[in-house]
């Protein structure tokens, strides 16, 4: 019985023609024996991988040339649904002719993309994306068998969304950089949660260690804590929200320098001059700010008239009306 007789028309429409063809007529299904591998001068690799979430399993056969690490041939056996067969068929095909190191770089997204009829239309419905994940995992298992290492050594990051291969580090970075506030925004930016949706929150078809709702809450909490700390540090360092007259000497100096940078210095520099603040002293009813002109300003006639008035008026307006500017 063909798989088309098992699937209703409306559901069938969600599968690409390529998927349907490979479900019924896979090109690389079968076994490879030790004798066949030896006849081609290669080493036989057999790897099994199963998906606990759906009960599907796949066995991958490789003939690998030990001199070049190139995969000379690949076949598979799939124990599961039609989508698993189609995904495994493409997976085996994509590995042929590649080195083992190149094959490990093939992801489930590559498998799904190769199953599409056109680049813009998904090959399978979202809930079936896990079948291509299984194909990706069995490649890692075969590579691990060949190299004599653990398959986890090929995964350098914690993967939160298996369907879209989105890591924990990427999710945290994207949330921060783009100030994301909802899971929907995360999905728009990364595709995480767009397929089987198990990674969004607990209760999906597969239990996950990390969920998008928790990652979002954690990162947003960290961002808010950092914002509050930065605000507190800024207030402590610059005297923000503290009257100028009550600031420490260092805070007063920072505020004066800030006002001069924003309102005065640029004009002086354009004329070849500048100024520096030498001291700040409280003198009964005044807050005296002692300055020294630099460059062209030191010999300019207006340094004791118009320029001095502009500096003093700006500091009075921005900081405290009791400020008096005294050039030295």
Residue 277 pairs in a beta bridge with 291
Q: Coil, helix or strand for 61? A: strand
Cβ atoms of 77 and 29 within 8 Å: the answer is yes
Non-local (6+) Cβ contacts of 22 within 8 A are 85, 86, 89, 90, 115
Estimate to the nearest angstrom the gap between the alpha carbon of 60 and the chain centroid: 32
Tokens of 228: 């509050």
Residue 256's Cα: distance from chain center in Å?
41
Catalytic residue among 54, 196, 199, 297: 54
For 231, the 3-state DSSP assignment is helix
What are the backbone dihedrals phi and psi of residue 141, each rounded to the nearest 5 degrees, phi first? -65, -45
> Using CB atoms within 10 A of its CB, is residue 203 exposed (0-12), middle (13-18) or buried (19+)?
exposed
Instruction: Retrieve residue 212's tokens.
Output: 């998008």
Q: Do residues 145 and 49 lie in contact, with contact meaning Cβ atoms separated by under 8 Å?
A: no
Paired with 45 in beta bridges are: 62
Residue where the block lists tokens 């349907």: 20
Contacts of 123 (CB under 8 A, 6+ apart): 15, 16, 18, 19, 112, 113, 115, 116, 117
Q: How far apart are CA 146 and CA 153, in angstroms?
A: 13
Q: Which two tokens stand for residue 145?
A: 């068998």
Q: Which of 131, 163, 196, 199 is catalytic?
A: 131
Contacts of 131 (CB under 8 A, 6+ apart): 51, 56, 80, 81, 83, 84, 86, 87, 124
Distance CA 91, CA 32 (A): 16
Asked about 131 being catalytic, the answer comes back as yes
Asked if 112 and 119 count as a contact pair (C-beta separation under 8 A), the reply is no
Q: Which residues are catalytically annotated?
A: 54, 131
């Amino acid at each position: 019985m063909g798989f088309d007789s098992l699937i209703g028309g409306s559901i069938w429409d969600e599968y690409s023609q390529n998927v349907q063809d490979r479900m019924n007529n896979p090109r690389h299904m079968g076994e490879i024996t030790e004798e066949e591998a030896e006849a081609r001068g290669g080493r036989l690799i057999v790897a099994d991988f199963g998906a606990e979430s759906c009960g599907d399993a796949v066995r991958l056969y490789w003939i690998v040339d030990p001199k070049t690490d190139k995969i000379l041939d690949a076949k598979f056996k799939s124990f599961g649904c039609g989508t698993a067969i189609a995904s495994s068929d493409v997976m085996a095909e994509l590995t042929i002719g590649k080195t083992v190191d190149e094959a490990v770089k093939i992801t489930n997204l590559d498998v799904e993309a190769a199953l599409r009829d056109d680049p813009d239309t998904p090959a399978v419905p979202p809930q079936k994306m896990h079948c291509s994940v299984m194909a990706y995992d069995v490649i890692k298992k075969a590579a691990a068998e060949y190299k004599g290492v653990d398959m986890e050594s090929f995964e350098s990051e914690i993967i939160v969304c298996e369907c879209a291969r989105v890591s924990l580090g990427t999710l945290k970075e994207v949330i921060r950089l783009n100030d994301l506030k909802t899971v929907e925004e995360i999905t728009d930016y990364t595709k995480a949660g767009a397929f089987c949706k198990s990674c969004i929150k607990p209760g999906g078809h597969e239990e996950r260690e990390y969920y998008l709702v928790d990652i979002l809450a954690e990162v947003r909490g960290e961002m808010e804590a950092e914002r509050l700390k930065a605000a507190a540090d800024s207030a402590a360092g610059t005297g923000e929200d503290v009257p100028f007259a009550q600031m420490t000497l260092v805070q007063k100096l920072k505020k004066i320098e800030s006002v001069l940078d924003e309102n005065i210095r640029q004009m002086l520099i354009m004329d070849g001059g500048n100024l520096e603040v030498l001291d700040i002293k409280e003198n009964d009813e005044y807050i005296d700010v002692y300055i020294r002109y630099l460059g062209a300003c030191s010999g300019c006639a207006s340094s004791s008239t118009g320029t001095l008035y502009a500096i003093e008026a700006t500091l009075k307006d921005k900081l405290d009306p009791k400020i008096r500017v005294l050039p030295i």
